[in-house]
Amino acid sequence: MDTYRRAAVPPQKLYIGGTWQEAQGGTLDVVSPIDGQKLTTIESASAADVDRAVAAARAAFEDGRWSRMAPAARKKVLHRIADIIEREALALTVLGVRDNGTEIGMALKAEAGSAAGTFRYYAEAIDKVYGEIAPTAPDVLGLVHREAVGVVGAIVPWNFPLMIGAWKLAPALAAGNSVVLKPAETASLSLLRLAEICAEAGLPDGVLNVVTGEGRVTGESLALSMDVDVLVFTGSGATGRRLLEYSARSNLKRVYLELGGKSPNVVFADAPDLDQAAKVSAMGIFRNSGQVCVAGSRLLVERSIHDDFVALMAKHAKALKVGDPLDLSSQIGAVNSDTQLQGNLGFVADAVKEGGEIALGGSRILESSGGYYMEPTIVTGVRPDHQLAQREVFGPVLAVTPFETEEEAVQIANGTDYGLAAGVWTGNLSRAHRMIRDIRAGVVHVNTYGGADNTVPLGGVKQSGNGHDKSLHALDKYTDLKTAWIQL
């Protein structure tokens, strides 16, 4: 691993039409959150650069080099992509960690491991998804065909670029589409390497194009393109709203959004093992420095066990080692950027002003390293209307709120604009099912938190977005239905 850690990273280019190209918009510095030092540069794609990438994707789609390839042949390419990711898992993961700061122990599984599994899942799905024959009159044959939508624009975040990138790319490619991918400017390196891997695996030129740069230029140009058929995005609600506006201003492209959450983790006094619940819940908020869209960032605790459970959470959180994400002993890595770190600290300061009390943490640490590190933070006394209970921090900051009854727990859990994920800890089977029914969220964990795989969808309700990543349901975003009505 030390070899990969010390390896120089050359200046990166745009990947358009199967070639590496310079951007008209200049370059951006890549600063590693591990030590605050410049790692390399990436290109900053202009609107004209994005237009070239979209044109390359459109040409590849229209001539059928991928879209009309037999599903069995596409399957082989996706499997080869997974093979290469697995072969280069350590190098690919270390590159990503140097770029975004996720702890290596988690990143090996969540980034390279997850991405390889995702490409394999959709490789196997390609020739197992069929059209339909409708039950029509005897003299009519009604066929429902599934067709690739065309050109997909994908904008992915910095917290798990390879994992989330695969969630978008694999089903889009499996369905026969061409893609223009825009990584986050603070986490582009692993996805640029993925473009090389896809080419090595036999993906035809132009089918995948990668344009790096700032969201306000590169992302906006992709969203405004008149020749992008579907746009998929994971990120903030503010950006998601702008993407919907850009769709309306351009070609009314379909836009699918995963916009994060403020996920409640509800602990009842009858939970089967409170210490285990505290241990799992601590990782459910503090892993990857809280930079997880489904993070259990609101802890709702039955009042009779509130103090004891907070003490257990603090014990497990305090035992977590925060440090260099490339140190195998580190359990929590770096915050992605100085901007993100300062935002996290601002939320903590505001929470105290509103009456919250810091039970653990609250500060920047390891500042002498030059990197961006924050200790796990627990804030108690957070009322449901406080900002820390309403706004997504996307950092290692937990808001704790007590409740008296099951009905109150549901009311507090549903009392935000978000609805991405939730957790419930109880030994009562009937209560568990009632909570699954009553909490408005796309994923409800019971007596665990996190870990759902590709067999089930991930998507939110309310202002957590629309559409789904993962599972066969993800293919719905990347296919159109066409009816053939045939008179016999």
Active site residues: 258
The residue among 266, 239, 278, 287 whose CA lies nearest residue 102 is: 287
d(CA 96, CA 94): 5
Q: Cβ neighbours of residue 385 under 8 Å, at least 6 residues apart?
A: none
β-pairing verdict for 178-182 and 151-155:
parallel
d(CA 282, CA 398): 9
Give the angle 173-175-180 at the CA atoms, nearest 5°: 35
- Per the structure block, which two tokens stand in for 417? 């604009």
Residue reference for tokens 């624009």: 153
Kindly report the number of other CB atoms within 10 A of residue 477's CB atom. 23
The amino acid at residue 421 is A
Burial annotation 287-302 (CB, 10 A radius, 16+ → b, else e): bbbbbbbbbbbbbbbb
Cα 398 from chain centroid (whole Å): 20
The residue among 184, 246, 171, 247 whose CA lies nearest residue 210 is: 184
Residue reference for tokens 């995948």: 208
Q: Cβ neighbours of residue 485 under 8 Å, at least 6 residues apart?
A: 140, 141, 142
